[in-house]
Structure 1
Amino acid sequence: MSRAFVKEGDGSLDPLPDLPVSPHPNHVTPTGLAALQQRLRDTQTRLAALKARPDRLDKLPEAAAERDIRYLESRLRSAILIDPATLPTTEVAFGHIVTVADDEGREHRFQITGEDEADATAGRITPQSPLARALIGASVGDVVKWRKPSGSVDLEILAIEQP
């Protein structure tokens, strides 16, 4: 049997490719920064537990944890902390919670957060999203146009709050 294409090694894996990092500035709220720090601690703890296993034949979980640690450390190094509590609520800015009414009078609340803490189902959106771009700079009483793939929606700004 030919061994020409068999890779012999020490049982370790090559590092997994790094997770993609956004080209946008990494603005974070205090909550987002704390969450990133906690995720890093949790991942470091998980990696230590993986390395302490008596049977370490499957090294893929360790490689994944190491990759995640590289990503989190990169995000923490590039973090630009913005505390929305220091910003006036006269116009929508990063970190603010915005209450809007749509064309049908239904109210919605959104918070403009960093990419790592964004969660559309919880109403946390990134500054790069079309909705956030429509809201940023608007004041209470303004009507902004949110351009969606399904068409534009007019939103009236009802309230701007600090978290």
Structure 2
Amino acid sequence: MSRAFVKEGDGALDPLPDLPVSPHPNYVTPNGLATLQSRLRDAQSRLATLKARPDRLDKLPEAAAERDIRYIEARLRSAILIDPAAQPLTHAAFGHAVTVADENGDETTYVIVGEDEADPARHLIAPHSPLARALIGAAVGDAVTWRKPSGTVSLEILSIDLP
């Protein structure tokens, strides 16, 4: 058999490609910053555990942990800390909990948080999401239009609070 097409390496992996970093400003709440710092410590601990394995033939988990650390460090370097308590509750802003009512009178409270904290299933929305863009700057009593892929929804702002 010809060896022309066999790549012989030194057993090391090429670094995994970095995770994509959002082009949006990286606004974070105090809780979001603490969560990122905790994620970094966990990833560093995971990497140390992986490197301490007696059998390190599979280097892919180490490469993945290193990639995760690079990503989290980049997010921490670009973090812009915003304290929601320092912002007036007269208008919806980053870090605020905004309670709205839809056309049917159903009430929902959304919290505008950083991208790394966002979880739409828990009503935690990123500031550049269409809903957050509709809410930011609105005051209690205002009606806003949320443009969704399925159509537009009119929402009335009922209250603005700290989460």
TM-score range, shorter chain: over 0.9
1:148 and 1:16 map into 2 onto residues whose CA distance is 35
2:69 and 2:15 map into 1 onto residues whose CA distance is 12
1:31 and 1:115 map into 2 onto residues whose CA distance is 12
Residue aligning to 2:19: 19
> What are the ranges of 5 or more consecutive residues in structure 2 without an aligned counterpart?
none
1:85 and 1:6 map into 2 onto residues whose CA distance is 61
TM superposition shift of 1:3: 1.6
Q: TM-score, normalised by structure 2?
A: 0.98
Residue aligning to 2:97: 97
State, as a whole percentage, how many aligned pairs show the same letter: 76
2:149 and 2:13 map into 1 onto residues whose CA distance is 43
Residue aligning to 1:136: 136
> What SS does the corresponding residue of 1:36 show, helix, strand or coil?
helix
The residue type paired with residue 65 of structure 1 is A
Residue aligning to 2:154: 154
Q: TM-score, normalised by structure 1?
A: 0.98
| Number of residue-to-residue matches in the alignment | 163
Once the two structures are superposed, residues 86-133 of structure 1 have per-residue CA deviations (whole angstroms, 9 ceiling, x without a partner) of: 000000000100000010000001011111110001111011111000
The residue type paired with residue 15 of structure 2 is P
> What SS does the corresponding residue of 2:88 show, helix, strand or coil?
coil
The residue type paired with residue 55 of structure 1 is D
1:69 and 1:2 map into 2 onto residues whose CA distance is 41
TM superposition shift of 1:5: 2.1
Residue aligning to 2:70: 70
TM superposition shift of 1:7: 1.7
Residue aligning to 1:30: 30
2:57 and 2:130 map into 1 onto residues whose CA distance is 46
> What SS does the corresponding residue of 1:116 show, helix, strand or coil?
coil
> What SS does the corresponding residue of 1:117 show, helix, strand or coil?
coil
The residue type paired with residue 135 of structure 2 is L
Residue aligning to 1:124: 124
Give the aligned CA root-mean-square deviation in angstroms: 0.7
Residue aligning to 2:59: 59
2:162 and 2:7 map into 1 onto residues whose CA distance is 57
